[in-house]
Amino acid sequence: MKLLCIGRNYAAHAAELQNDLPAKPVVFLKPATAILASDTALHLPAFSQDVQYECELVFRVGQPGRHITEADAMDHLDAVTVGLDFTARDLQAELKQQGLPWELAKAWDGSAALGQWQPLVNVPTWPDLPFALHIDGQLRQTGDPRLTLFSLPYLVAFLSEFFTLQPGDLIFTGTPAGVGPLQSGQTLVGSLCGNEVLRVKVA
């Protein structure tokens, strides 16, 4: 299985990192070893001095497909949760400056936290899926999927032109503004439609 991740999908987040708005989706992948289950600890890696949180809506593929149309896109997804795309921002800045791929900054072990899966039949229809991240009780990020540059059906169609989608594959749909650095001892809580679905402690 694979984690397909979208970058710069919220204009305000692209702006906070001084990035131009993309004309088509910015895509990167993480391996299965990046997954960090909810209620486990994140161990900050020694190779970075600036690991940052990015709270994102994550969708799970239920039905396989390629060359999926936007009209059929939602039929290929079966669950949603809130995830955290942990990013070694210092490494990413070096790689971006050199025009190199982002994997060392983005795809390391534990860099993709996942909350409890919510079957799509049990939650409101996209894009009525507001989400939020609290750190130590303070609101740090709020996400409204209506504000994405690329809609979820468009992303599924776009991704499936390049990658066969297989059951269990995950799509990280990008983070809103408000990203920032992590520190040991913090507790991150992600919520979907006002309900807690994700909890990660920074070791």
Q: What is the 3-state secondary structure (H, E, C) of 156-177?
A: HHHHHHHCCECCCCEEECCCCC
End-to-end CA distance of the chain: 27
Which one, 118 or 175, has the nearer CB to Mn ion?
A: 175
Which one, 85 or 169, has the nearer CB to Mn ion?
A: 85
Classify 27 in phi/psi space as left (phi over 0), alpha (psi -120 to 50) or beta. Answer: beta
Task: Count the site residues for Mn ion by CB under 5 A.
Answer: 3
CA 91, CA 103: separation in Å to the nearest integer?
10
Which one, 65 or 96, has the nearer CB to Mn ion?
A: 96
Q: Is 169 in the site for Mn ion (CB under 5 A)?
A: no
User: Please, what is the minimum distance in Å from the beta carbon of residue 169 to Mn ion?
Assistant: 16
Which one, 83 or 153, has the nearer CB to Mn ion?
A: 83
* Contact pick of 4, 10, 54, 148 for Mn ion (by CB under 5 A): 54
Q: Could you tell me which of 155, 50, 62 has the C-alpha nearest to residue 93? A: 50
Which one, 56 or 126, has the nearer CB to Mn ion?
A: 56
With DSSP H G I counted as helix, E B as strand and the rest as coil, what are the percentages for the chain, rounded to 5? 25, 35, 40
Stretch in the footprint of Mn ion (CB under 5 A) among 73-81, 112-120, 133-141, 167-175: 167-175
User: Please, what is the minimum distance in Å from the beta carbon of residue 174 to Mn ion?
Assistant: 6
Q: Is 175 in the site for Mn ion (CB under 5 A)?
A: yes
Strands 187-192, 131-135: pairing kind: antiparallel
User: Please, what is the minimum distance in Å from the beta carbon of residue 2 to Mn ion?
Assistant: 15
Which one, 141 or 175, has the nearer CB to Mn ion?
A: 175
CA 98, CA 115: separation in Å to the nearest integer?
34
Stretch in the footprint of Mn ion (CB under 5 A) among 39-47, 78-86, 113-121, 130-138: 78-86
- Residues binding Mn ion (CB under 5 A): 54, 85, 175
